[in-house]
């Protein structure tokens, strides 16, 4: 069974505790503290494995833990570090916080390996706490606790073009004819039960990857049929080929089919319906008389004013396929070449460790129209965040909103143009 979703519980390793001991040797009656440090706990790491194409490994096992660090020992012995756990996933897997649905990591593009949960630091042994006034420290630092998080993983296939349409309109036949893919083909609904990928090679220009997305019917965005299971796989595509049974072999109206599927795309994610589209009017070889021209005219009159071009094709005979594919390749060439990557919205390191740390928001008494935001939580966030990058600045803005800092500033009467100061950072406030 194709597995493109999984929910698992991950846990990093706890840091080992520092040790309390004192040097005791012959002729050294007061040797002083010699308790060693605890070892670091293991990290939870996600890594792309080119040999995987599903998340089936996470269907039957739900808990994954790194190893705890070992405690320190006497004679300044350092505890052993805990072993990391590396979770292999297929390229295109998006890791999200299960509770909020926010993106933690997108394992695609250049991101091949990412530490999602860091192991706790080992605690200092009592050898670190000897001072002139405290020469016999009888305490050591405990190791930092483990981090635990429930995450949801979704595989969103990486393809340039998404092939959508009602069941049994010929999508799999088209894919088998224009690519090296070998999808299952039969004359019944829901023959295709998983996304199929194929590479289109075109003479004289670069090819592209096309994905056959199964299961779209009316009500798909609400979970009817198989649509909700696979709509996520369209999110990375740049162009959508909307395939219809132009000959109405099963009695459906092709214009109505396109409108219904576009409505499902909009309800699932409004951005999907805005992707560039092209219509493949299939089964043109099944027409009799002048019906073909009448149907094509209806399709073109309805959709080409919207900038959606209609191509009459036959996936069985190959009619019109070359024109369709070269047109799609031209559309791709005009679009940005950067792959669609889902930006990080949730940083476990920040949320799990800093949620209970305090912060203050105050209006300056010395400077007019100036507000000061500080505290351990703010300091930690600034240490993790690169404000020079667009991604980092967006994360910074979300942090201010999610932690109620913007709300607190508004309660204190902040206005557009007022100065906000956070340690060494200073910026003007604009809502």
C-alpha atoms less than 13 angstroms from C-alpha of 384 in its C-beta half-sphere: 17
Separation between Cα atoms, residue 1 and residue 234, nearest integer Å: 20
| pLDDT value for 169 | 79
Q: What is the pLDDT of residue 185?
A: 39
Q: Return the pLDDT at 262.
A: 85
pTM score above 0.85: no
Q: Report pLDDT for 67.
A: 95
Q: How far apart are CA 387 and CA 299, in angstroms?
A: 49
Which of the four CATH numbers 3.60.40.10, 1.10.1740.110, 3.40.50.620, 2.70.210.12 does domain 1-154 have?
2.70.210.12
Predicted local confidence at residue 195, as pLDDT: 64
Q: Which residues make up the CATH 2.70.210.12 domain(s) of the chain?
A: 1-154
Q: Which two tokens stand for residue 82?
A: 């805990």
Number of H helices, E strands in the chain: 10, 18
The pLDDT of residue 1: 38
Q: Could you tell me where in the chain the CATH 3.30.300.350 domains are found? A: 356-428
CATH 3.30.300.350 is the classification of domain 356-428: yes
Q: Which segments of the chain belong to CATH 3.40.50.300?
A: 161-334
Instruction: Work out whether the CA dihedral 168, 278, 110, 401 comes out positive or negative.
Output: negative
Q: What is the pLDDT of residue 63?
A: 94
Per residue of the chain (431 residues), give pLDDT as tens. Answer: 345 678 999 999 999 988 888 887 766 666 788 889 999 999 999 999 988 877 888 888 899 999 999 999 888 899 999 999 999 998 888 899 988 888 898 888 888 999 999 998 888 888 887 766 666 777 778 888 888 999 999 887 767 888 888 877 777 788 777 775 454 433 444 444 456 767 777 787 777 788 787 756 555 445 444 445 567 667 778 888 888 888 877 777 888 888 888 887 888 777 777 889 999 888 887 776 677 788 888 889 988 898 889 988 888 888 888 888 889 888 888 887 776 777 787 878 776 654 445 678 888 888 888 898 887 677 777 776 777 777 778 888 888 888 888 888 888 888 888 888 887 788 888 87
Say if domain 161-334 classifies as CATH 3.40.50.300. yes
Compute the distance between CA of residue 329 and CA of residue 206 in angstroms, rounded to an integer: 8
Q: Distance between CA 328 and CA 130 in Å, rounded?
A: 72
């Amino acid at each position: 069974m194709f597995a493109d979703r999984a929910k698992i519980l991950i846990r990093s390793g706890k840091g080992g505790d520092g040790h309390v001991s004192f040097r005791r040797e012959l002729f050294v009656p007061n040797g002083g503290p010699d308790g060693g440090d605890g070892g670091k706990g293991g990290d939870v790491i996600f890594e792309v494995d080119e040999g995987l194409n599903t998340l089936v490994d996470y269907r039957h096992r739900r808990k994954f833990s790194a190893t705890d660090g070992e405690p320190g020992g006497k004679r300044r012995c350092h505890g052993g570090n805990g072993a990391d756990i590396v979770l292999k996933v297929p390229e295109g897997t998006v890791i999200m916080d299960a509770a909020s649905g926010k993106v933690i990591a997108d394992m695609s593009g250049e991101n091949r390996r990412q530490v999602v949960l860091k192991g706790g630091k080992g605690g200092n042994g009592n050898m670190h706490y000897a001072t002139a006034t405290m020469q016999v420290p009888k305490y050591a630092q405990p190791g930092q606790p483990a981090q635990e998080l429930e995450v949801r993983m979704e595989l969103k296939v990486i393809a340039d073009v998404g092939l959508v349409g009602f069941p049994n309109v010929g999508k799999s036949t088209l894919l088998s004819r224009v690519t090296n893919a070998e999808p299952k083909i039969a004359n019944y609904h829901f023959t295709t039960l998983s996304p199929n990928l194929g590479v289109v090679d075109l003479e004289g220009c670069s090819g592209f990857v096309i994905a056959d997305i199964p299961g779209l019917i009316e009500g798909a965005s609400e979970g009817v049929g198989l649509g909700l299971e696979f709509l996520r796989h369209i999110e990375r595509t740049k162009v959508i080929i909307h395939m219809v049974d132009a000959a109405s072999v099963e009695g459906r109206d092709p214009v109505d089919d396109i409108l219904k599927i576009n409505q499902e795309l909009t309800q699932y994610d409004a951005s999907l319906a805005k992707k560039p589209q092209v219509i493949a009017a299939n089964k043109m070889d099944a027409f009799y008389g002048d019906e073909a021209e009448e149907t094509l005219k209806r399709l073109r009159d309805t959709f080409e004013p919207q900038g959606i071009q209609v191509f009459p094709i036959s996936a069985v005979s190959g009619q019109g396929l070359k024109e369709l594919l070269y047109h799609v390749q031209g559309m791709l060439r005009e679009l940005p070449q950067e792959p669609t990557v889902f930006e990080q919205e949730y940083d476990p390191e920040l949320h799990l460790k800093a949620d209970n740390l305090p912060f203050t928001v105050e209006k300056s008494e010395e400077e007019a129209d100036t507000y000061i935001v500080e505290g351990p939580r703010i300091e930690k966030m600034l240490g993790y965040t690169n404000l020079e990058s667009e991604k980092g600045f967006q994360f910074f803005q979300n942090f201010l909103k999610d932690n109620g800092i913007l709300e607190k500033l508004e309660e204190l009467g902040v206005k557009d143009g007022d100065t906000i100061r956070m340690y060494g950072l200073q910026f003007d406030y604009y809502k």
